[in-house]
Structure 1
Amino acid sequence: MDPLWTHCVFLLACCCGLGFGNRCDEVRKVFQLRQIGPNQLLPLSPRPGSDLQVCTSRNLTCCTKKMEEKYQLAARRDIQNLLQMSSTSLKYLISRNVAAFQETFEVLMWQAENHTNAVLQGLHRSVADRTAGPVRELFTDISLFLLGSELSVDELVQRFFDALFPLIYQHLANPALGEPSPGYAECVRSSRRDVRPFGAAPGVLADQIARSGVSGKLLLQALHLGIEVINTTDHLQLSRECRRALLKMHYCPHCQGLTESKPCMGYCLNVMRGCLASLAEIDVHWREFVGSLEGLSARMQGPQDLEHVLLGVHALIRDAVGHAQKNGARLLAQVHRLCGPPSRKSTQSVSIQHSSSSSSSSSSSSSSSRESLPLKAPVKVFGDSLAVRRRDLLRTLRHYRTYYGGLADQLCVSELVSGDGLSCWNGTDIVKSCCKESPFRNWAHWTRSKPAVETQRDVTAATVMTRTAAVVQVALR
């Protein structure tokens, strides 16, 4: 061979090796910048890649087997971060509304308790001062029920009226005579369910709170489950085959010194739809879940409107007290028949010196004002009402109805695929980007035609799907 020609070939090989070496320097920079692993793992110069398992190539490579392992971990971490980033707005939407609903519940409870106390202030002062305790206990129990406690609504309402009756009895019997003895007060309390001094009010109130409260309670439970679904899918367990496919798509180009390359659209869709196939299976359940929230919200009106029911508690209690006063003589006779003549606390005998005219005046004044008991001016619920909050939540949540079904496509389009439309990585080499099809097609079509990842059902995701379906069924009853 001509010595001149041999010399030219040698120089050309040196130049090519030098160029590849420069690209390996870039690989080193990116490896360090992304904190993929220690720089000691990188080769000092391009090397044959015969020991590589995924990033195989006939050319020299900038990778070692240890680098390949680190790249696989990095690829998995990158996808987990993308999943969490993509769900951030959805998770924030639901979390913010859970907090807002709970805050609105608390404000409604406070307002309803104040209105109820205002109603009972129309009773004799010696009685009215002691009604605050049972009222506070009633609304505390309702709050616990709404926040998930397994309390019996009927029992907590009945317990309130049991505690209220001895006070109403004292008001009817002559409050100036003082409190009944503890034993007699207990007998009066125990007789309440037989005497029925409050008419149908206890049953009506229990029914209204139960029906509206179950809807509100279920709404909170459903939203908490929605957050759990997102948290679970954010930490999806990726199969070994998926991790290898992600490595090949994301970091195998680096082994060739192509640190800025991005995957082609079809290739990305094929890999991501396979890796996220279990999330696509959740899609139908997620759609049903969003639909059930819409149905539940539509049902929370009229008798099942929690806000309306809570702000109407004071009116029901006012009517209940009015019913007892209207039938005062009959009630006193029934109580005396069951418990005998009233006995008073001996320490209060001195207070009997109150003039009977003053007592009569107080009693008649209380009776005459019963038709329109003074109420504190209604205080506007802080922030938006429950109905407004539900409407705003559902209006935004509808945009996420197809979130899981289109997640793989969305990640490819917005985050992963080459955006210049000129060149891309196809899993083997850099090629001209020529794919013109719309990416928003069913993932199953791609995995059937040329699956890059064998689909695998995720057990954790399947469990969440089952729980989601259960909540859907309860919500739609």
Structure 2
Amino acid sequence: FLEAFESLLRFAENRTSSLFETAYRPVAKEAAEPVKELFTDISLYILVESAVLRFFDSLFPLVYSRLINPGITDLSEDYTECLRLTRQDINPFGRYSKNMVTELSKSLWASRMLSQALSLGIEAINTTEHAALTKECRKALVKMQYCPHCQGLTLIRPCVGYCLNVMRGCLASVVSELDAQWREYISTLEYLTNEMAASHDLETALMGIRNSINEAILHAQLNGPQLSATVDKVCGQPKQEEGNLSSDNIVPVKEATEIQTFVMVHASLNNKRR
């Protein structure tokens, strides 16, 4: 399970990184670290809400200065910090950040519980393997294994019924102590695996991170003028680049539709006119 979980995480992280490299190249380099931190937090089962909110807090200054207002040339540490601190109040990414928290929280909860349950099961099995044998059990094992040797019957094995009776006697005390708890444990494992195969599907949640981030960025770009006006009121106006915008600043969003691309260019031109 842990190997499958780590493999899914790596694949989801690579898919998310490729989103920035192909669709949002102006922020790809600077977004690499927030993406890495997000998936590291997920792998450590750090509180999902904190991890996701921290990611979008770090992403907002990049989206605002590179995609919404590509003419900004000087984004000071104070201004960046203002954008980061006010991101949740301004809500540039709409419902998508909260949706991402909801989907990941459900799946990672089930994943974490299953991981802990499997570890507990391994520990219980290892403990029973090293359980001390009673005096009666040792005597029965010796009798079953070696009494035929005294009669020269070294190649004859104990019959199945005799062997099972001896083992039942040896394990009776252990089984009586663990039986009820072990049955409950198995039921819990079945419940968790069923949940992960249904509404708490871990693979679907992790693979959906890329799309959630893409939709969140598109939402911010489509509402660029309103966001800029709000940010100007809260954080003031950053330094703007004079002259025409370079074509390199227009983001080639390959995964967006033609209408979305038009709106993004339109938003950039509106910012230039201001």
TM range (shorter): 0.7 to 0.9
Pairing 1:137–2:37 present: yes
Show structure 1 runs of 5+ residues with no match. 1-100, 146-150, 345-351, 375-477
Whether 2:28 is the aligned partner of 1:128: answer yes
Corresponding position of 2:257? 371
Other-structure match for 1:84: none
Cα-to-partner distance string for 1:99-133 (whole Å, 9 max, x where unaligned): xx3333233222222222233343352x3321111
Deviation at 1:169, TM superposition (A): 1.2
Structure 1 moving runs of 4+ over 6 Å: none
The one-letter code matched in structure 2 to 1:211 is K
The yes-or-no answer on 1:309 pairing with 2:209 is: no
Query: 2:265 maps to what in 1?
Result: none
Shift of 1:159: 0.4
Structure with more of its chain in helix, by fraction:
2
Structure 1 contact 184–343 (Cα < 8 Å) conserved: no
CA displacement at 1:270 relative to structure 2: 3.9
Confirm or deny that 1:290 pairs with 2:186: yes
CA distance in 2, matches of 1:244, 1:322: 75
- 2: CA distance, partners of 1:367 / 1:275: 68
Aligned partner of 2:229 in structure 1 is 333
Deviations 1:133-192 (A, max 9, x none): 1011111111121xxxxx211000100000001101102553243240111101110010
SS of 1:178 mapped into structure 2? strand
Among 148, 166, 170, the residue aligned to 1:275: 170
Identify which of 73, 77, 86 aligns with 1:191.
86
Deviations 1:40-82 (A, max 9, x none): xxxxxxxxxxxxxxxxxxxxxxxxxxxxxxxxxxxxxxxxxxx
Q: Aligned letter for 1:155?
A: S
Larger RCO (alpha carbons 8 Å, 6+ apart): 2
Structure 2, unmatched stretches of 5+, are: 262-274
Q: Determine the structure 2 residue equivalent to 1:171.
A: 66
Q: Which residue of 1 aligns with 2:266?
A: none
Deviations 1:396-451 (A, max 9, x none): xxxxxxxxxxxxxxxxxxxxxxxxxxxxxxxxxxxxxxxxxxxxxxxxxxxxxxxx
Partner of 1:232: 127
How well do the aligned residues superpose, as a CA RMSD in angstroms?
A: 2.9
Q: Percent identity?
A: 47
Aligned with 1:311: secondary structure? helix
Q: Tell me, what secondary structure is at the counterpart of 1:300?
A: helix
Choose which of 133, 137, 144 in structure 2 pairs with 1:242: 137
TM-score (norm 2): 0.81
Aligned length: 258
TM-score, length-scaled by structure 1: 0.49
Which of residues 208, 214, 219 in structure 1 aligns to 2:103? 208
Aligned-partner Cα distance in 2 for 1:266–1:116: 60
- Aligned residues of 1:245 and 1:271 also touching (Cα < 8 A): yes
- Residues 179, 315 of structure 1: CA spacing in aligned structure 2 closer, same or farther, 3 A cutoff? farther
Partners of 2:137 and 2:251 in 1: CA distance: 81
Question: What is the aligned partner in structure 2 of residue 113 from structure 1?
Answer: 13
The amino acid of 1:356's aligned partner reads N
